[in-house]
């Protein structure tokens, strides 16, 4: 299902009803999968930022602020 959604978006289908039509799934189901994909992407971005902050010895409070308030998303 995830691959079908990503493929539909890559082909230019950007609206929920377009993606739903392309995948043949209900809007509700597609919406849930898209939200899951977004959560995974944001989680990965936050993890990468935190690792980078620790690795480069930046102030950890900057990373915590980013994670808390979503700065730069």
Q: Specify the pLDDT at position 45.
A: 67
CB contact at 8 A, 36 and 46: no
Q: Specify the pLDDT at position 38.
A: 81
Sign of the dihedral defined by the CA atoms of residues 9, 15, 16, 17, in that order: negative
Please state whether the predicted TM-score (pTM) of the whole model is above 0.75.
Answer: no
CB contact at 8 A, 39 and 33: no
Q: Specify the pLDDT at position 30.
A: 92
Collect the ranges in the chain with pLDDT lower than 50.
Answer: 58-60, 71-73
């Amino acid at each position: 299902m995830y691959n079908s959604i990503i493929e539909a978006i890559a082909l230019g289908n950007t609206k929920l009803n377009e993606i739903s039509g392309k995948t043949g799934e209900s809007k509700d189901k597609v919406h849930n999968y898209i939200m899951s994909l977004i959560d995974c992407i944001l989680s990965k971005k936050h993890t990468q930022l935190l690792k980078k902050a620790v690795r480069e010895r930046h102030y950890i409070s900057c990373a915590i602020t980013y994670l808390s308030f979503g700065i730069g998303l």
